[in-house]
Structures are given as C-alpha cells and as structure tokens.
Amino acid sequence: MSSLRVAPFFVALALMAPASIAPAAAPPAKPWCAPEVTELADHVCYFDGGVPEDGRHTLVIYMHGMLATTPGFQYLQQRALALHAKKHGFTVLLPTSPLTAGGYLWPTSVAAQKEQEPALLAGLAASRAKLEEKLGHRFDEVFVVGFSSGAYYASSLALRSALDVDGYMVLAGAASWGPKQTPGKRAPIFVGVSAADKATAPDSRGFAGTLAAMGWPYRAEERQAGHMVDWTFMAHGIAWLRGKARATR
C-alpha cells in the first residue's frame, strides 16, 4: 500500500520538471583568432614576432593542418606559430582553408583546386597587402610553411609555381603526384620528414625524391618526430630558407 501512495508524488515531480528546469545556455561563441594573435580579417590572423639581427622582415604564410569545427580547436596551431615567430623573428600570417564536410581542409584534389584556388590565392594577396599596410613596411622575403593538410597543398603550389614566394617548408606531408610544370622560378623547398608519423613519412620521402629527380633546389631532413610542427624542423628550415633568399640578393 505504501508504494501506491508514493507513486503519485514521483508522477507529479516528473510533470513539473520540464517547467521548473531552464534549458542550459549555449556556450559563448569564441573569436576565431586566439588571444595571443591578432585578427586581420574574417578567419585571418597574424602575429608579428619581430626581426632577426640583420633587420630583414620575413613573412611566413602558415597553411594549417586539418581544423575541426569545435570552437577554439584552431588555437593550438595559432599559439604554436606565434611562439615560433617570436623565437625566430618573423611575422606569421594565419589564413584559414575552406570549410568542408570534414572540417577546414586545403584543396588537394584537382577538382577542389579548380573550384577554390582562385579565391584562395586572391585572399592571400589581399591579406599580405593589408598586413604590410598595417605594419608600415614591406617584407624582404616570403615563405610558405605547410603542415599536414597544408603541406600537401603547399607542395602542390610549389610544383606548379602558383605563388610568387621565396621558399617553402613542408612538414608531415607532401604531394608528389599530379601534373608538374617546370617554371622559370623554382623556389627552394625544405622537406621535414616526420619518421614517427607512418601515415605521412612515405609521402614526404616521395616528394623529396621527386624534387631530386627534377633538379629542384631542396633540402630534406628526417627526424623521429610525430605528426606535429617539429621545433627542430622549424629552426633548420627557416635558417636554410633565409640563407637561400639572401644568396640571391
């Protein structure tokens, strides 16, 4: 009998619950650019890390790895590149790739490049011009650093001479397939082979082999690094690219 008397209480409580409990508030939207970097335009950030001892202004255009749509997911790579920029004395431009069903990814297929690349390259040019105006100076040298998805796209840009830059660095990934041109200007390429990353190491090695076969100016280094922007690769790559750029001036 006692259970029959208690049951109506729980029924009443269940009926009251939806009306008495307010829905959880949605978490506040996070800005695209992390607090450590500065917004330049929509989904475009930058960080000015200063200049090296020789006073030359270096711009690094960083092409990120895949970004999930989780708010703030992009902050890890933005913060890491800000640290690299400060350590090595360069300005880093942080554009964002197109949004796809799998997240933010750079166009690596021929079809995606045909559809998305014109707007991407125009956006990079506009961002560079805006950044130079904001900082009040032009850059003495411009390098592209691509990581993971960005490395596959950056290597494609390099082989097609699609950007007028002074060099490339590709880390944890590279594309050595597809049509290639033999442009008059072959920007030097630093290839960082992350040997502990079994998914990308073969592609990086293959890309280095392609560059060797083409007589392209390049340097390849291999380390037991995982899927990351390795600090040693960054230090060696920036130093090597700067040396190549200075040798031509």
- What pLDDT digit, counting tens, does each position of 14-47 carry? 333 444 444 555 555 789 999 999 999 999 999 9
141: CATH: 3.40.50.1820
**Average pLDDT of the residues of the chain:** 89
Which runs of E-coded beta strand occur in 18-85?
Answer: 38-41, 44-48, 58-63
Is 186 a member of any domain? yes
Say how far residue 51 (Cα) sits from the centre of its chain: 21
Distance CA 90, CA 131 (A): 13
Q: Between the CA atoms of 121, 124, 129 and 131, what dihedral angle is there, to the nearest 10 degrees? A: 180
**Does the residue 90 lie in any domain?**
yes
Distance CA 223, CA 213 (A): 22
Count of domains forming the chain? 1
Asked whether residue 83 is domain-assigned, the answer is yes
Burial 106-125 (b: 16+ CB within 10 A, else e): bbbeeeebeebbeebeebbe
Q: For residue 17, is it within any domain?
A: no
Of residues 11 and 179, more confidently modeled = 179
Give 140's pLDDT tier (boundaries 50, 70, 90).
Answer: very high
Distance, CA of 176 to CA of 159 (rounded, Å): 9
pLDDT (tens digit, 9 = 90+) per residue, 141-199? 999 999 999 999 999 999 999 999 999 999 999 987 655 665 568 999 999 999 999 99
Q: Is 165 within a domain?
A: yes
Q: In the prediction, which pLDDT does 119 show?
A: 96
- Name the token pair of 112: 């995606």
3-state SS assignment for residue 115: helix
**pLDDT tens, 58-78?**
999 999 999 999 999 999 999
Q: Is 214 a domain residue?
A: yes
Query: Global pTM?
Result: 0.87
Averaged pLDDT, 190-216: 96
| pLDDT given at position 1 | 41
In a domain, 23, yes or no: no
Question: Mean pLDDT across the stretch 94-117?
Answer: 94
Q: CA geometry: angle at 179 spanning 178 and 182, to 5°?
A: 135
Range of the domain at 115: 30-247
pLDDT value at 228 more than 90: yes
Query: Is residue 4 in some structural domain?
Result: no
